[in-house]
Structure 1
Amino acid sequence: MGTFRASFEFPPSPHAPGMARRLLGELFGAWALDGARHVDATILVNELVSNAVDHAGTDVVLELDVTASDGWLRVGLADGSTIRPVVRELDHSAPRGRGMQIVAELADRWGSEERDGGKRVWFELGSP
């Protein structure tokens, strides 16, 4: 398999997580990627985009970058906020706050980095 790359921009709207999930699904099909990690990748991209929409609080366009190469999938999401995500301690009484725990659990690797006055949060998935 060679290296495949795609990049998409979309507004930080309530529809953004669904758009990102559909785009990722289309890429899995177009690139003939192993479907075994498709569910994990879909959950993870949904969490990243949902967090950006809920917490970044910017009108800056979201940029989703997807790269697949040699059994690895890397997805990054850039937004205009400099606030980096953290994995919070689980609070069973809180109705929210589990997103980054899900990312930390499902991703083989994840992190964040500065990018053009904002940040990029990324995750990687290897072959199962």
Structure 2
Amino acid sequence: MRPVSSFTASIDLPPRASSVPLARRLVRDVLRTWRAPQDPEDAELLVTELVANVVDHAGGDVLTLELSLAGAWLRVGVLDGSAVVPVIREMSHTEERGRGMQLVAAIAERWGCEEHRGGKRVWFELSPAGVGEPAEP
């Protein structure tokens, strides 16, 4: 039986627009290094949405990008200092923005938001291709 690998990474970034492409590259490079079985384009797209939400709505001094791979399941979280919870908006054909959390909900196997030290952690989980829901902890 192959042992289950577990990896974690965390990095603080400024909540500026330049952090969005940096977060994408970090996710891509970390997944490649870990040989993670997830689609890197899905992970990059979803982290782009979460980091862009912090830049656009939360502000603050810092955001933290967290990645963990437990077995074959990837969990990505973005922490910020705002307690404002993200919402899935109705689809609008007139608005240029506002579809980010719809993408997260559609692509991720699971996602959520939890209070964290006066702010929040918004997270999503991706499975490897062809795998269903993770077992409940």
1:23-102 paired onto structure 2 within 5 Å: 23-34=26-37, 36-58=38-60, 60-102=61-103
The number of equivalent residue pairs is 126
Normalising by structure 2, report the TM-score.
0.88
How big is the shift at 1:80?
Answer: 0.7
**Residues in 2 aligned to 1:12 and 1:57: alpha-carbon distance in whole angstroms:** 6
Provide the residue aligned with 1:103 in structure 2.
104
RMSD of aligned C-alpha atoms?
1.0
Alignment-derived partner of residue 22 in structure 1: 25
Q: Which has the larger radius of gyration?
A: 2
Structure 2 CA distance for aligned equivalents of residues 31 and 57 of structure 1: 30
Cα distance in 1 for partners of 2:97, 2:42 equals 20
Structure 2 gaps of 5+ residues are: 130-137
Identity across the alignment (%): 49
Q: CA deviation at 1:57?
A: 2.6
Query: Separation in 2 of the partners of 1:23 and 1:57?
Result: 21
* Alignment-derived partner of residue 8 in structure 1: 11
User: d(CA) in 2 for partners of 1:96 and 1:28?
Assistant: 28
Output the CA distance in 2 between the equivalents of 1:14 and 1:49: 9
- 2:77 is paired with a residue of what secondary structure? strand
Aligned partners of 1:108, 1:2: CA distance in 2, in Å?
Answer: 20
Are positions 1:114 and 2:101 aligned together?
A: no
Unpaired stretches in structure 1, ≥5 consecutive residues: none
